[in-house]
Amino acid sequence: MKFTCLALFFCSVTACPALAQKLAIDTVFIKSYAQKIIIQGYFSTNNIELVTAGKTYLPNYPLNVGLGLAVKNTVINATFDYGLLPLKSNTYGKTKLTDFQIHNYGRHFMLDLFLQKYKGFYNSDINNHQIVNYPNLSVSQIGAEGSYIFNGNKFSGKAAYEQSEKQLQSAGSFILGGGVYLFKIGLDSLMVIHASTPIRTFQIGVNLGYGYSWVINNYWMLSGIAKIGANTENEPQMAGTGKFRIYPTAFAKGSATYQKPNWSVSFLMLINNKSVYAYQNEFKVTVVNFQLAYVRHLNSIFKRKKRV
């Protein structure tokens, strides 16, 4: 199967001490790794789902493999991955996609950026046991999601989602956030709802939630963040009235981590749910990411040979 993909890309910047004020942490709850270098390898899947008129449309998304490198107190902190192969056969159609994401975890502020373009979806009809392909169905979103962590000196997003710190004791925090999103949905002629004009809409909203890390013992930790809120959009003229509409939103992250003094293994999840209204129907757009990662902490990539 011919396949075109620029898959998930994580990138975050850690400011140098000379350029940014170092925020204090409660060392009873959070500990920095002594090593200077972080090397990461992982497998992941990332996709966008569309639900409208009682049907769920899915892309034939790939399994990604990635590598990352971070150096403490420098601007070197980036991870890149590439889609190896679609997870399903040609029966489920071909999906062309670009999926670019940035996830930055600061002491009190977390930032998630999305630039995603998917074209080519399928729908499984359970009653007739048929798979219908929609090669011209496309979903694109450009968005930014910010989260302020009130108790960031005790609850570490870095420990939960990038394993660059260690959470010593269980801790949680209320979270205040918001987001801005630009959506474009091109409908396929085979859909129940279809039109030649793509749906375009801009949304902005606020949300509130809570994050918690449960330190089970010296090795295991479970973490989660859940936010609910509302976005508002200027309803497109094609939807009818051209008035403002308000939609509920949901955003969640979770992780399960097994950690040792110089390495860790973690399973991460992200779900981002938004809605768009057009042609007298609601279109639910959901981003779903999963990642299994191995993180190694080192003082040097190249070990010096001992002289005899």
> Does a structural domain hold residue 7?
no
Number of domains present in the structure of the chain: 1
**pLDDT value at residue 303:** 61
Q: Which parts of the chain have pLDDT scores under 50?
A: 1-21, 237-240, 308
> Does a structural domain hold residue 119?
yes
> Does a structural domain hold residue 308?
no
d(CA 85, CA 75): 32
CATH number of the domain that 102 lies in? 2.40.128
**Considering only CA atoms, which of 46, 55, 47 is closest in space to residue 283?**
55
Q: What is the pLDDT of residues 182-225, one digit of tens each?
A: 999 999 998 888 778 899 999 999 999 999 999 999 999 999 99
**pLDDT value at residue 234:** 67
The domain in which residue 70 lies consists of 19-298
> Does a structural domain hold residue 5?
no
Q: What is the pLDDT of residues 42-80, one digit of tens each?
A: 999 999 999 998 899 999 998 999 998 888 877 677 788
**pLDDT value at residue 193:** 81
**pLDDT value at residue 291:** 95
d(CA 79, CA 41): 9
**pLDDT value at residue 14:** 39
Report long-range pairs for 282-286 (Cβ below 8 Å, ≥24 apart).
Answer: 282/52, 282/247, 283/50, 283/51, 283/52, 283/185, 283/199, 284/49, 284/50, 284/51, 284/52, 285/48, 285/49, 285/50, 285/139, 285/141, 285/183, 285/185, 286/48, 286/49, 286/50, 286/51
Q: Tell me the pairing of strands 5-6 and 96-105.
A: parallel
> Does a structural domain hold residue 303?
no
> Does a structural domain hold residue 214?
yes
> Does a structural domain hold residue 307?
no
